[in-house]
Chains A and B, each alone.
Chain A
């Protein structure tokens, strides 16, 4: 069974540019989460999808961040325009539901210069 995959693994962009991160959850997992770890700090929750619906987006930093999960399969997280403080590692996780293990992807390391 394939795990959670994320693309790209690394992204380096200039301040003000746009970047789109992609997450492919484990097949059949309705729950998809985005998290972010900034410069050695804790991993912080961004938002939670159940299928294509946003269950909780309380962790989204501001309106420069837009997450979508059309069709309830893969998800994208777009940052527009990117700021220096957006640098960090963005993780995606998925689970089949209930209090089951959240399977994490390898993360996308975003660097904003």
Chain B
């Protein structure tokens, strides 16, 4: 089945700096890659997603890049703010299974933005 690796597990940056989180996946058939942000006491919330027909997607300070050949995708947050502090999860879908839309998640990255 699909396997998703995520790095780093923790990331501390100064306010205003950029943060980059990287993920790799194993199943070349995966074609949907969402990123979720989880704040304390809340469920994961989608912040951006990318499908395999594009290489990059941007939404204000957040961008995601996808390299299908290398099977890796990355989250980029620019001009970080303290409210960006949270756990971030990458995920990939599993087209080869009976549940195309089920997600396999990375282990998460705890991002801390220091004022």
Write the residues of chain A forming the contact surface with B, with a CB cutoff of 8 angstroms: 4, 31, 33, 35, 40-45, 48, 55-56, 58-59, 91, 93, 95, 98-99, 101-107
Contact = CB atoms under 8 A, between A and B. Distances in A.
A102 B101 contact: yes
Contacts of B93: 99
Interface of B: 4, 6, 31-32, 34, 36, 41-46, 49, 51, 89, 91, 93, 97-108
A56 B99 contact: yes
Contacts of A45: 99, 102-104
- Nearest 4 Cβ contacts at the A-B interface: A56-B99, A104-B43, A43-B105, A48-B99
A107 B43 CA distance: 6
Contact of B46 (A42, A44, A91, A101): A101
Contacts of A40: 107-108
B101 A42 contact: no
Contact of A106 (B43, B91, B106): B43
A14 B4 CA distance: 33
Contacts of B104: 42, 45
A99 B99 CA distance: 11
Given A91-B44, A106-B43, A42 B99 contact: no
